[in-house]
């Protein structure tokens, strides 16, 4: 690869810095949720190394490498950020911080927030001080999100929020919520929605965890009972929240879709896992020929998908953006990841069924169960196909 001298220097410095500063423990594969650093007021670090890694990276703004420096980011160019990513993968460094703030709210605030909102919220996201949750879905508004009914009524300097959200991931552990509310019940449904930020410690907010098929309770029902929210916490203009909501969803979808980046991204491909699990026979091939065929198909699609992510980025860089591909990446990536997890289970056979026990038993089965949600959260696969049909292919409405 041709790299300018400047970028080559950046790579060398980055490599040296990471070697010196990334603790050994933070170079082990992430195996379960407890290995992930989510940050937030109440976050309990799983090890001193996890804390140190976050602090060191945050100090350079490298938890959010491409955000501007004045908001706590690293101010890196796309090319530099890519190099940082590659160098982190090279030593298998864990992300120092994962959060809805980074993936979803940050990009939306950078585009739609006012200066005060950016200065208030972005640095705290970058340093992992405030953990955010997403208040979109309601019991009656899932795929048809725009039919949401949680209301916000302006009284003096405050909005009074009433209603209920559901499936709010980590609502019981989050500090703040970005929330879709209806500010104008008279307007057509897409035009009465606003984008509001508030503290989960505000009086009138309560949560009730929901238990999942994986046994854990990462999400909640969230209730709002006369919650008072300062009116300056509304992002963009009143009634224009839908546009922000959709913009944020494209980021969420790309993030979820990217979870199957396959062999090209340095993670072991399914074929490597299979070789370790099953070994190869005398002819150098995996012993179970039907399973081998499935694995080959998976590798082909996974590789083709990773190359597509690469092409989409390269085209964007060259200003040739095909655009509107986030639904494609979400749909295809999540369906692939589900297939991959089915194969992972098959490869481990009955061992894959373990649920509770010593060490990390049960991790695989839980990961398999968790992956089922990929094609539901952030807009279901069917909804992504609807969006492609309508917005990309221009097919007539049903």
Partner 1 sequence: MSLALTDDERMIRDSAEGFFAEHAPVAELRRLRDAKDPVGFDRALWVKMAEMGFAGVAIPEAFGGAGLGMVAAGLIQEAIGRNLSLSPFLSTAILSATILARGGSEEQKAALLPRMAAAELVVALAADEAPRHAPAHVATRAEASGNGFRLTGTKPFVLDGHVADRLIVAARTSGDDRDPAGITLFLVDPKAEGVTVERRSMVDSRNAARVTLHAVQVDGADVIGAVGEGYALLEAALDAGRACLAAEMLGVADRAFAMTLDYLKTREQFGRPIGSFQALQHRAAHLFCEIELAKSVTLKALRALDEGDARAPVFASLAKAKVGEVARLATNEGVQMHGGIGMTDDADIGFYMKRARAAAETFGDSAFHGDRIARIMRY
Ligand X SMILES: Cc1cc2nc3c(=O)[nH]c(=O)nc-3n(C[C@H](O)[C@H](O)[C@H](O)COP(=O)(O)OP(=O)(O)OC[C@H]3O[C@@H](n4cnc5c(N)ncnc54)[C@H](O)[C@@H]3O)c2cc1C
As annotated, the active-site residues are: 252
Tokens of 172: 């019981």
Residue 375 interacts, among ligand X, partner 1, none and using kind-specific CB cut-offs from 5 to 8 Å, with: none
CB-CB contact of 288 with 296 (8 Å): no
- How many Cα atoms are found within 13 Å in the side-chain-facing hemisphere of 64? 25
Residue 284 interacts, among partner 1, ligand X, none and using kind-specific CB cut-offs from 5 to 8 Å, with: partner 1
Asked if 33 is part of the footprint of ligand X (rule: CB under 6 A), the reply reads: no
Asked if 176 is part of the footprint of partner 1 (rule: CB under 8 A), the reply reads: no
Contacts of 384-387 with CB under 8 Å at 24 or more apart are 384/253, 384/327, 384/328, 384/330, 384/331, 385/327, 385/331, 387/327
Site size for partner 1 (CB under 8 A): 46
Site size for ligand X (CB under 6 A): 20
Cα angle value 197/199/201 (rounded, 5°): 155
40 or 262: whose CB is closer to partner 1? Answer: 262
Asked if 198 is part of the footprint of ligand X (rule: CB under 6 A), the reply reads: no
Q: Of the candidates 223, 235, 379, 387, which one interacts with ligand X according to CB under 6 A? A: 379
Asked if 137 is part of the footprint of ligand X (rule: CB under 6 A), the reply reads: yes
Q: Tell me the residue nearest to ligand X as measured from the CB.
A: 142
CB-CB contact of 239 with 194 (8 Å): yes
Instruction: Give Cβ neighbours of residue 64 (< 8 Å, ≥ 6 apart).
Output: 72, 73, 74, 102, 106, 125, 126
The dihedral formed by the CA atoms of 23, 46, 171 and 158, expressed in degrees to the nearest 10:
-70
Region near ligand X per CB under 6 A, out of 64-72, 201-209, 313-321, 380-388: 380-388
Cα torsion 62, 67, 73, 75: sign:
positive
Tokens of 28: 């082990």
Asked if 344 is part of the footprint of ligand X (rule: CB under 6 A), the reply reads: no
Asked if 394 is part of the footprint of partner 1 (rule: CB under 8 A), the reply reads: yes
Residue 397 interacts, among partner 1, ligand X, none and using kind-specific CB cut-offs from 5 to 8 Å, with: partner 1
Tokens 């896992």 sit at which residue? 273
Which residues within the stretch 291-310 sit at the binding site for partner 1 (CB under 8 A)? 292-293, 295-297, 299-301, 303-305, 307-308, 310
**CA of residue 133 relative to chain centroid, distance:** 12
Q: Of the candidates 10, 219, 242, 331, which one interacts with ligand X according to CB under 6 A? A: 219
Which residues within the stretch 364-393 sit at the binding site for partner 1 (CB under 8 A)? 382, 384-386, 388-390, 392-393
Asked if 332 is part of the footprint of partner 1 (rule: CB under 8 A), the reply reads: yes
Asked if 396 is part of the footprint of partner 1 (rule: CB under 8 A), the reply reads: yes
Asked if 168 is part of the footprint of ligand X (rule: CB under 6 A), the reply reads: yes
């Amino acid at each position: 690869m041709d790299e300018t001298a400047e970028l080559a220097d950046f790579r060398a410095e980055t490599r040296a810095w990471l070697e010196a500063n990334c603790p050994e423990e933070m170079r082990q594969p992430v195996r379960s949720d407890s290995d992930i650093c989510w940050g937030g007021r109440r976050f309990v670090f799983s090890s001193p190394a996890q804390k140190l890694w976050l602090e060191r990276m945050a100090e350079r703004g490298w938890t959010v490498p491409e955000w501007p420096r004045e908001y706590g980011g690293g101010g890196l160019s796309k090319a530099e950020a890519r190099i940082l990513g590659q160098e982190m993968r090279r030593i298998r460094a864990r992300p120092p911080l994962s959060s809805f703030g980074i993936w979803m709210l940050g990009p939306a605030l950078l585009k739609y927030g006012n200066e005060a909102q950016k200065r208030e919220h972005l640095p705290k996201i970058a340093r992992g001080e405030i953990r955010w949750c997403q208040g979109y879905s309601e019991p009656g508004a899932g795929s048809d999100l725009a039919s949401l009914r949680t209301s916000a009524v302006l009284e003096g300097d405050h909005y009074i929020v009433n209603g209920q959200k559901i499936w709010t991931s980590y609502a019981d552990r989050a500090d703040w919520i970005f929330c879709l509310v209806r500010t104008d019940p008279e307007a057509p449904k897409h035009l009465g929605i606003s984008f509001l930020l508030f503290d989960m410690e505000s009086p009138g907010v309560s949560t009730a965890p929901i238990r999942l098929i994986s046994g854990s309770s990462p999400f909640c029902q969230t209730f709002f009972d006369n919650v008072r929210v300062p009116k300056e916490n509304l992002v963009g203009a009143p009634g224009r929240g839908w546009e922000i909501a959709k913009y944020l969803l494209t980021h969420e979808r790309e993030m979820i879709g990217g979870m199957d980046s396959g062999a090209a991204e340095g993670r072991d491909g399914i074929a490597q896992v299979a070789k370790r699990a099953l070994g190869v026979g005398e002819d150098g091939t995996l012993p179970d020929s039907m399973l081998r065929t499935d694995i080959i198909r998976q590798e082909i699609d996974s590789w083709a998908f990773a190359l597509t992510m690469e092409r989409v980025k390269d085209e964007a860089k060259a200003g040739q953006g095909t655009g509107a591909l986030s639904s494609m990446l979400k749909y295809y990536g999540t369906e692939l990841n589900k297939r991959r997890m089915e194969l992972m289970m098959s490869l481990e056979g009955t061992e894959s069924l373990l649920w509770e026990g010593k060490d990390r038993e049960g991790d695989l089965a839980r990961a398999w169960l968790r992956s089922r949600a990929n094609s539901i959260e952030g807009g279901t696969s069917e909804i992504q196909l609807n969006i492609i049909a309508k917005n990309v292919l221009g097919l007539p409405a049903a």
